[in-house]
Amino acid sequence: MRSAMLATAAWGLLVGCAVSPPPAGQTADLPFPTFQRADFAPEARLAGTLVIEDGCLAVDVENVITAAVALPETVTWDPDAETVTVDGAPFTVGDQVAFGGGSYEVSSIDLEHRCMRGDEVFFVHTVTD
């Protein structure tokens, strides 16, 4: 248990230290924060409908919870089509999505972005089925 907590804390520190600018050719005004993937990847699953809420990309889970998302810096975003491509898989706002990753308290992450608000943000590491 202690090692799992330490690994989670270490991952949080890595995320905080690994903040980088958006990918080349994209603006700093993306509707989601980006991060550099670490070797350690949490395995929680987030599934629902991809939405834009208050100008920020999120996942609506059964009209109950809307989870803000942070995406790997390798994603691409097409603002006209409202499409994000993660690991070669394109997702348009309104699509059903399933991501692997982990949810963290915003206050525990050193990542500044206008969409880092609310209590938690889900860091997407993988696309799942």
- Classify 17 as helix, strand or coil: helix
CA 115, 121, 67, 51 torsion-angle sign: positive
Tokens of 23: 């990918």
Residue pLDDT, tens place only, 45-64: 999 999 999 999 999 999 88
Distances (CA, A) of 19 to 67, 82, 116, 119, 128: 20, 23, 13, 19, 24
Give counts: helices (H), strands (E), the chain.
1, 9
H or E segment and range at residue 8: helix 2-17
Tokens of 110: 């050193």
pLDDT at 32 over 90: yes
pLDDT at 10 over 80: no
pLDDT at 25 over 60: no
Tokens of 74: 């390798």
Which amino acid is present at 98? A
Q: pTM for the whole thing?
A: 0.76
